[in-house]
Structure 1
């Protein structure tokens, strides 16, 4: 029995690890193939494939996710009543809608903005332009159908029932910020048609129309009269940053930095190194809930900002310092599977995929960019990816992702949010994480030493001495 399980585990490890999810679900135990002595009594087994990732293997995993996303996101207009495809784009029809996907993956929702950003990163990391084919298809569809849905709205006044409503009438940061950043990134890389009209609509909301505190911090009027959501760091700051990059207008960088600091001053707990999910102006002493994905959005926003923020901007060292503090707090709470918990500070809450993928990406990216030490954080990112590989199904679905979650006031709600392969929140972060792990593996600035059965990311030329170990 043990021999059979060992052989199966080794076969999985030595092949492409796309089927790791089922193996974990069945209680699989993995040996590290980088330790060549299979009789080594000091080599344990792991609940995830604890090993050095290989570029070909990670690329195959990313391709499987891309293929699934591509197949699951149709770009057609249909009649909502009959299901028939509509080809006439000159005569508005009140029943015309985007064809829904089988998994309800909205093609203009904020989560899809993260998917496109992930696909752009994957294309860059692998050198394979086919990763952006889905982005080109989606954006070409938007270019072709925007006039049609604008005419539909002018004639029938459907408001939110209009499939293009997020860009005809944006009403929130969720409607606008994430897709805005993705649209600008694609435009600057010449991927797909120029969608400046959509960029103008969504950026106008973020810059000019979103409700804010008096100091300019992005806020909401729900669930209380004046609330901050850590999620909104990602829903606003990357869009502001990309507007700064695209236009060269430093006021957008100023706004982005101001929002990092405004959000942080109210929601970051320096003792824990974590962001609480939200803050209420009228109830500032409310209990704090450290939801993992909210922390993910916060660090991803800061990471994206630092990518384009001029290094001579006075806010650069402030944002970098805050990202480092957050990464340290997050890294200390990584579980023994490489993943992080739904309530990041509560290890009796379930292990959640989307936050774990964001953390893995941000930590790996910070290492690659030289923002944090590879010797401290390289193996943490690698371990995160080991855990994430167990969440990719043979079909390219991403398992274990918490569904959409509001800012709540009790633990029972957070603990019991369902997970689903149809939660789009997991797909973009997984693409980002895999792309950055490829960069980490290929990074020429350091070497990875497999010593004492674990991994040490060392700057090139760094001298270590293991003589006492032999």
Structure 2
């Protein structure tokens, strides 16, 4: 495939940091969403800052793919051609391919396929989705289709469920949805005794923490539910429900899971609007964390908008989360702070500070903003 030369898009972007002190003084109350124009401005400021600082669009691994999923959401929200061009430059740099090639079964490698499907929706061209389709088609139809234990960590739900759901819809092949549920069900109920805890209505990151696995606890003796891990699960359910027909027999379970998680998130939100990195033990490494909070905002906004959860109950929860991100994590120049770096537990990549940022955290913020804007007036 012919690659497009990346023409220093960053040089053409306006500098961020245009929010005035007066504009900040006029911010909405903490439990009220700001207007749509303010949400769009925050999305633009954060994305423009990222692009200005990253002339090379980067690798095609899960973290950068999460960012580009967010920038495609920002493109759909704003219609800004620079965002689409930046995403295309990234995809073309990698020939719309997957890390590990088409034989990979690793969910992280499939995350790039979400962006390729996004670009395909805009541009067409079967070559753009050839690799992700070949890889998932193998899992569904030819490469040990009975093997259902590939998604052994909760992040995998976000990385691989959405492209599998979307290919089922695109090709009219419900076998993708059947296979997706089999993998999901194994993660939820079998792996380590089941990574979903029905009592707390939250997900363990992997069987290091589940009672049927190693069952590790917080220093206070409480179960450990990692914020970003639950954010991945919550976002996965929202993305799947966005494309799965409501008549699919498995759709009610995905809705119920979002409803249960929403109850858990409502009970565990911090007074300032963020969620702690550790959700069940408020004394276990407390503090602001943007990536989990942004993923929760994305899922909340989608679930409110589509009627999965009650608007009156959850809109203030969403507003507090979104307003906290914009107020306390978005720097005047558009840098997004308080992002926990890569890891697999609340202790990972510490300390988490106002300066801590990462591509996947920016992507999560852009995803959230794209949904919040659809609720804002």
Q: Per the shorter chain, which TM-score range?
A: 0.7 to 0.9
1:342 Cα shift? 0.5
Question: How far apart, CA to CA, are the structure 1 residues paired with 2:256 and 2:140?
Answer: 25
CA contact (8 A) 1:73 1:107 kept: no
- Which residue does the alignment assign to 1:69? 50
Question: How far apart, CA to CA, are the structure 1 residues paired with 2:80 and 2:55?
Answer: 22
Question: How far apart, CA to CA, are the structure 2 residues paired with 1:423 and 1:209?
Answer: 37
- Which residue does the alignment assign to 2:62? 110
CA contact (8 A) 1:132 1:191 kept: no
CA contact (8 A) 1:230 1:277 kept: yes
Residue 172 (1) aligns with residue 92 (2): no
1:268 Cα shift? 1.5
Question: How far apart, CA to CA, are the structure 2 residues paired with 1:211 and 1:361?
Answer: 34
CA contact (8 A) 2:105 2:139 kept: no
Q: Residues 112-151 of structure 1: matches in 2 within 5 Å?
A: 112-143=64-95
CA contact (8 A) 1:260 1:319 kept: no
Residue 318 (1) aligns with residue 234 (2): no
Question: How far apart, CA to CA, are the structure 2 residues paired with 1:262 and 1:193?
Answer: 32
Question: How far apart, CA to CA, are the structure 2 residues paired with 1:437 and 1:203?
Answer: 31
- Which residue does the alignment assign to 1:223? none
Question: Post-superposition, which runs of at least 4 consecutive aligned residues in structure 1 deviate over 6 A?
Answer: 208-212
Cα distance 1:252–1:439, how it changes in 2: closer, same or farther (>3 A)?
same
- Which residue does the alignment assign to 1:45? none
CA contact (8 A) 1:139 1:193 kept: no
Residue segments in structure 1 that go unaligned for 5+ positions in a row: 1-10, 18-30, 36-48, 76-100, 147-163, 220-227, 443-470
1:335 Cα shift? 0.5
Q: Which of 116, 137, 148 pairs up with 1:216?
A: 148
Question: How far apart, CA to CA, are the structure 1 residues paired with 2:144 and 2:340?
Answer: 27
TM-score normalised per structure 1: 0.65
Q: Residues 5-20 of structure 1: matches in 2 within 5 Å?
A: 12=21, 14-15=22-23, 17=24
Residue 263 (1) aligns with residue 215 (2): no
Larger mean CA deviation between 271-280 and 313-322 belongs to: 271-280
CA contact (8 A) 2:155 2:205 kept: yes
1:181 Cα shift? 1.9
1:310 Cα shift? 1.3
1:283 Cα shift? 5.3
TM-score normalised per structure 2: 0.80
Residue segments in structure 2 that go unaligned for 5+ positions in a row: 1-19, 217-222
1:200 Cα shift? 3.8
Residue 378 (1) aligns with residue 310 (2): no
Question: How far apart, CA to CA, are the structure 2 residues paired with 1:210 and 1:405?
Answer: 30
Q: Which structure has the bigger radius of gyration?
A: 1
- Which residue does the alignment assign to 1:279? 207
- Which residue does the alignment assign to 2:337? 399
Question: How far apart, CA to CA, are the structure 2 residues paired with 1:180 and 1:315?
Answer: 23
Question: How far apart, CA to CA, are the structure 1 residues paired with 2:318 and 2:302?
Answer: 9
- Which residue does the alignment assign to 2:41? 60
Question: How far apart, CA to CA, are the structure 2 residues paired with 1:72 and 1:201?
Answer: 34
Cα distance 1:414–1:344, how it changes in 2: closer, same or farther (>3 A)?
farther
* 1:4-29 superposed Cα distances (whole Å, 9 cap, x missing partner): xxxxxxx73x41x5xxxxxxxxxxxx
Q: Residues 30-429 of structure 1: matches in 2 within 5 Å?
A: 51-75=32-56, 106-143=58-95, 165-167=99-101, 170=104, 172-175=106-109, 177-190=110-123, 194-200=127-133, 202-203=135-136, 207=140, 216-219=148-151, 228-265=152-189, 266-279=194-207, 284=213, 286-287=215-216, 288-348=223-283, 349=285, 350-389=287-326, 390-406=328-344, 413-414=347-348, 416=350, 418=352, 421-429=356-364
Cα distance 1:209–1:250, how it changes in 2: closer, same or farther (>3 A)?
closer
CA contact (8 A) 2:39 2:369 kept: yes
Question: How far apart, CA to CA, are the structure 1 residues paired with 2:143 and 2:362?
Answer: 27
Cα distance 1:139–1:34, how it changes in 2: closer, same or farther (>3 A)?
closer
Cα distance 1:401–1:54, how it changes in 2: closer, same or farther (>3 A)?
same
* 1:261-280 superposed Cα distances (whole Å, 9 cap, x missing partner): 33222111122111111126
1:191 Cα shift? 7.2
* 1:65-106 superposed Cα distances (whole Å, 9 cap, x missing partner): 22122233334xxxxxxxxxxxxxxxxxxxxxxxxx7xxxx4
Question: How far apart, CA to CA, are the structure 2 residues paired with 1:193 and 1:140?
Answer: 14
* 1:3-54 superposed Cα distances (whole Å, 9 cap, x missing partner): xxxxxxxx73x41x5xxxxxxxxxxxxx87668xxxxxxxxxxxxx665412
Question: How far apart, CA to CA, are the structure 2 residues paired with 1:34 and 1:352?
Answer: 21
1:115 Cα shift? 2.1
Question: How far apart, CA to CA, are the structure 1 residues paired with 2:91 and 2:374?
Answer: 27
Larger relative strand fraction = 1
Cα distance 1:178–1:165, how it changes in 2: closer, same or farther (>3 A)?
closer
Paired residues in the alignment total 344
